């Protein structure tokens, strides 16, 4: 954590002054026992912060990113189930961020969430009435809202359930009544002092265990020369498996996560090769594979295959180096 900025659930909001994301998840029944809720909130918060472009003041989010691309893969919820959690996330995106969502399509042609996303979703939904729904036939796509047997009303303004204690919302009723207004400009910023922070080599431990944090590749090689059996550590998850289940013992560990020379993603179009640093973040690898896969077309199919495989290789919360 040396030189890093750590945000916890307590940093986002309190009971008296919750973050709008916390408020919406609670109001839309996305939390019961509460044990998993802080982790889910932080995962959604990371998704929210990473999707915002401060220069263009736009959010780049798709249905797939919110639901299917692993934003919550590291969170387990057995009480609530994921339906109300996804509903809360979707409603937050479409209602709180609806006016500043970029309208375009991603690599697979799926529309980025925008002001008309909920309207399109509302028209596509069926009320599930026995014998058929008025929206099941193409000819009725422009008809009025369904009047299902359970009294549920589908509108073209919001596909999310109403806030706790609120009645059904009409098209001219504000969708976020009762919720704190969300402003990207009010979010916690990265400390200015850390922007100028100078990383230095670290070493700590005792007679049983020593931990090194080198800063250059030359330092890594010198440590390995002095301690040939030293374990190089990047993401650390596999090391913990080896220690716990394989009874491996590592007296000397070398953390290489802060060595710039071991990172990087370079594509040489002339040679037809890609060089990926062994310590590059998987989120960077995913982004670069997407960019170069689109740019190279058929020649970039290998990069596209890598990008798709990352979905099953590690969760986004882990974000391990290679």
- Pair 171, 156: CB distance under 8 Å: yes
For residue 202, give the nearest of 10, 27, 59, 1 by alpha carbon: 1
Q: Which residues of 174-205 are buried (b: 16+ CB within 10 A; e: fewer)?
A: ebbeebbebeeeeeeeeeeeeeeeeeeeeeee
pTM equals 0.65
Each residue's pLDDT expressed in tens, for the chain with a length of 322 residues: 888 888 889 888 888 888 988 988 888 888 878 788 888 899 888 888 877 777 777 777 666 666 666 778 778 887 877 888 888 877 777 777 764 555 445 445 444 444 333 333 333 344 444 455 554 554 444 444 444 334 333 333 333 333 333 333 333 333 445 777 777 777 888 888 888 888 899 999 998 899 999 999 999 999 999 999 999 988 777 888 888 888 888 999 999 988 999 999 999 988 888 999 988 888 889 889 999 998 988 888 999 999 888 877 777 776 554 4
CATH number of 9-146+153-169: 1.10.150.120
How far apart are alpha carbons 232 and 239 in whole angstroms? 9
Q: What is the DSSP string of 106-126?
A: -TTSPBBP-TTHHHHHHHH--
Scored b (16 or more CB within 10 A) or e, 215-243 reads beeebbeebeeeeeebbbbbbeeebeeee
- Tokens 């919001």: give the residue: 158
Domain 198-256 class in CATH: alpha beta
Q: Where are the domains of the chain?
A: 9-146+153-169, 198-256, 263-313
DSSP-assigned beta bridge partners for residue 198: none
9-146+153-169 matches 198-256 in fold: no
Q: Which residue from 315, 303, 218 is spatially nearest to 260, judged by alpha carbons?
A: 218
Residues 313 and 282 sit within 8 Å (Cβ to Cβ): yes
């Amino acid at each position: 954590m040396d030189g890093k900025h750590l945000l916890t659930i307590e940093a986002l909001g309190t009971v008296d002054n919750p973050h709008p994301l916390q408020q919406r998840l609670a109001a839309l029944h996305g939390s019961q026992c509460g044990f998993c809720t802080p982790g889910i909130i932080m995962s959604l918060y990371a998704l929210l912060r990473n999707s915002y472009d401060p220069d263009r003041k736009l959010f780049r989010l798709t249905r797939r990113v919110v639901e299917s691309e692993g934003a919550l893969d590291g969170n387990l919820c057995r009480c609530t189930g994921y339906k109300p959690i996804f509903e809360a996330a979707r409603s937050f995106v479409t209602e709180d961020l609806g006016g500043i969502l970029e309208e375009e399509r991603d690599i697979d042609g799926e529309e980025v969430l925008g002001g008309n996303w909920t309207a399109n979703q509302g028209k596509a939904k069926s009320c599930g009435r026995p014998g058929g729904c008025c929206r099941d036939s193409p000819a009725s796509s422009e008809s009025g809202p369904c009047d299902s047997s359970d009294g549920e009303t589908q509108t073209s303004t919001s596909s999310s359930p109403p806030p706790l204690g609120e009645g059904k919302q009409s098209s001219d009723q504000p969708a976020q009544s009762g919720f704190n207004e969300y402003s990207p400009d009010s979010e916690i910023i990265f400390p200015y002092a850390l922007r100028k922070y100078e990383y230095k080599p670290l070493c700590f431990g005792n007679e049983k265990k020593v931990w090194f944090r080198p800063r250059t590749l030359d330092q890594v090689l010198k440590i390995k020369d002095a301690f040939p059996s030293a374990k190089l550590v990047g993401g650390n998850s596999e090391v913990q498996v080896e220690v716990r289940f394989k009874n491996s013992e590592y007296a000397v560990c070398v953390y290489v996560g802060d060595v710039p020379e071991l990172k990087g993603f370079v594509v040489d179009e002339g040679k037809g090769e890609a060089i990926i640093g062994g310590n590059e973040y998987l989120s960077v690898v995913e982004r670069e594979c997407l960019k170069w896969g689109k740019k190279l077309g058929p020649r970039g199919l290998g990069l596209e295959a890598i990008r798709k495989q990352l979905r099953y290789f590690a969760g986004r919360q882990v974000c391990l180096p290679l």
